[in-house]
Amino acid sequence: MSSAEKFYKENIENNKEQSNLLSTKVNLIGWSRLAVVVLCLIFDYILYKQNKLILAMISTTIFVVLFLFLIIYHNNIFERKKRFDILAKINEKGIKRLNGEFKEFEDDGTEYLDNGHSFINDLDIFGKNSVFQYINSTVTKGGREALVKLLKREKTLDKNEIMHNQKSIKELGLKAKWRQQIILEGTLEKSNDIDIKSLIQWSKKNSDSSSSPLRIAIAFTFMLVTAVFIYMCSMGLMPVSVLLLDLMVNYCVVKMLSKAMKEEFKLFDTIKRHVSVYSKILALIEDEDFESSYLAKLKAKLKDNNLSCKDEMKRLSAILDWMGNSAYNAYYLLLNVFLFSDVFLIKKLEKWRDKNGDRLEEWLEVMHEIDSLCSVANLSFDNEEWIYPTIINENELSVVSVGHPLIGKRAVKNTFALKGDQKVSLITGSNMSGKSTFLRTLGVNLFFAYIGAPVCAKEFSCGIMNIYTCMRTKDNLEESISSFYAEILRIKILIEACKKGERVFFLLDEIFKGTNSKDRHTGATVLIKQLIKYGGVGLVSTHDLELCSLEQENKHIINYNFREFYEDNKIKFDYILRRGKSETQNAIHLMKLAGIEII
């Protein structure tokens, strides 16, 4: 049992045990509340019968206080139980990742599939059974977007940045409990992206400080008048109807004074719970100690000598907790008409914005970045046998015992290298022997190396290159593009990238399969020579065994192959990569196994 599996199973057991204990308490408190109500009715009835009304009122008050205490205690216990239930589910998700059951996860990032991207569709970065579905545990929309940008390689990291990411991901991988606390806080209340953007826009606005003192003065004046009216009513010097009229006037005045903040109030009422969650996540980040320089640099943005993000976000959350919708909240309505709460909340919010408005976006960006890196850290924690690759300056690739990360324990490991004079490897083999899977194995691991993640190998060294693939070309009926022409267009993009001087690593699977064998051979020969000429490095899988003769003609080309074998008239594969060209074929045998009569 791996340490990750042991960790997840122990946490599942402990969290479920704690949840069950709290379930017992929840039920007990529920019955206690009912008992308090019944006892209150019994005592009140007895005291009423004995004409002890004052004692009845005292008794009722005591029972009401006790009932309210039980409600608060019940809610706290229920909240704790909810947290243990979520933690159990987080660890269960970890077990599913280990068992290769991640394809059950709901969020697979299908919306980010892009036929025009240089590799994400072919390497299963997004969609069903994808890298994104495997690693994603982000709990903020901004964190999810940051992870998507990382997986798309929208920003190409240099050697130093990759090294910083490696150290950060390795450190975060070791902080499994801390990462789960972030997931827990974020899972309790999912964020709304458009509202967060609106919050950032609000934070950058300039406060109208000129009108604030006047609003406060008006509020104090009307509060003083209301206090006088309350006193006069209590002394019997004025009818209550006048006080009610005064409160109606107060309501209208409050609405007039807060009219300019109407849209902001709607925003705050929508996102106040999200701000509370973000406040807790940022506090977790600020309170944590980091050794890696990149994480320490991110944390440093949350705190300086005079300001703490944790304290300021907690203060903002506390301000927003006072907010409510007066159309639905009677208590908040009373606060408004008696104490002009909206006016003073506006003042507090403007004061908070003046102090922290310029920093809020940066604070959220730090949270989003760490949220995304925590997802990548799942690879580090779940796969302790994986290694961090060595980044070299040459356009080379050398791997020992490399396996496909998404296949898991079932993956067959192979050793491979393209270095020195070797620039292109021709991969031959019969149908289903493992050629396409091997190309994706190298591609996904190379991609992991470039984002600073560990790779599924014993040894792995590579130069930094841009990945280009041509593996799953499809026709496009709307644009009248056949699959063959779609393949041509992708290869054109690859050639142009090489000509522009990009450091290119390509993966081409069964190129030119949409034309006759002579055209396929001629086209592949021309393409391979062009790729070598312009500095491209990569692999080409093919059924065209005649291409393998290029190894004798060109020192930059090397042949590898996969083979099949037969047992009890059944075809089998070992998926082992071997030097040289393939010498076997299996199309006829596969047709026979499928029940097709061979005449």
11 part of a folded domain = yes
161 part of a folded domain = no
Mean pLDDT, range 268-285, rounded to an integer: 87
The count of other CB atoms within 10 Å of the CB of residue 487 is 24
Mean pLDDT (the chain) is: 85
Determine phi and psi for 557, rounding to 5 degrees.
Answer: -110, 140
One domain, residues 419 and 368: no
Annotate 401-420 with b (16+ C-beta within 10 A) or e (fewer): ebbbbbbbeebbbbebebbe
- The domain total for the chain is 3
Judged on CB neighbours under 10 Å (0-12, 13-18, 19+), 343 is: buried
Render pLDDT for 560-577 as a digit per residue (tens, 0 to 9): 999 887 777 777 788 999
| DSSP code, position 75 | H
211 part of a folded domain = yes
pLDDT for the residue 475: 45
Task: Give me the sign of the Cα torsion angle 386, 387, 393, 394.
Answer: negative
159: Cα separation from own chain's centroid: 25
Domain end call among 382, 410, 438: 382
Render pLDDT for 331-380 as a digit per residue (tens, 0 to 9): 566 666 776 777 777 888 888 888 888 899 999 999 999 999 999 999 99
Residues 290, 296: contact at Cβ < 8 Å?
yes
One domain, residues 27 and 43: yes
One domain, residues 53 and 6: yes
| Residue with the two structure tokens 């604030």 | 212
More confident residue, 513 or 19: 19
Confidence of residue 208 (pLDDT cuts 50, 70, 90): low
CATH at 514: 3.40.50.300
Residue type, position 567, single letter: E
Length of the chain, please?
A: 599
One domain, residues 336 and 410: no
The count of other CB atoms within 10 Å of the CB of residue 173 is 23
110 part of a folded domain = no
Answering whether pTM is above 0.75, one says: yes
One domain, residues 275 and 291: yes
176 part of a folded domain = no
One domain, residues 454 and 555: yes
One domain, residues 438 and 359: no
Task: Give the domain extent around 69.
Answer: 1-101
Render pLDDT for 513-553 as a digit per residue (tens, 0 to 9): 766 677 778 888 889 999 999 999 999 998 888 888 998 98
One domain, residues 369 and 415: no
Distance CA 199, CA 127 (A): 31
One domain, residues 335 and 402: no
Distance CA 467, CA 454 (A): 18
Residue type, position 134, single letter: Y
Please state, for a pLDDT cut of 70, what percent of the chain lies above it. 89
pLDDT higher than threshold 80 for residue 122: yes
pLDDT higher than threshold 50 for residue 215: yes
Domain end call among 354, 382, 410: 382
pLDDT higher than threshold 50 for residue 435: yes
One domain, residues 235 and 372: yes
144: Cα separation from own chain's centroid: 4
Distance CA 242, CA 361 (A): 48
pLDDT for the residue 126: 96
424-429/557-562 β-pairing? parallel
123 part of a folded domain = no
Render pLDDT for 458-506 as a digit per residue (tens, 0 to 9): 999 999 999 999 987 654 444 445 667 777 888 999 999 999 999 999 9
pLDDT for the residue 326: 41
Domain end call among 55, 81, 101: 101
Strand partners, 560: 427, 579
Render pLDDT for 57-106 as a digit per residue (tens, 0 to 9): 888 888 888 888 888 888 888 889 999 999 999 999 999 999 999 999 99
265 part of a folded domain = yes
One domain, residues 416 and 371: no
Distance CA 582, CA 599 (A): 26
Distance CA 100, CA 91 (A): 14
Q: DSSP assignment of 406-429, as one string?
A: TTGGGPPPEEEEE-TT--EEEEEE
152 part of a folded domain = no
One domain, residues 452 and 480: yes
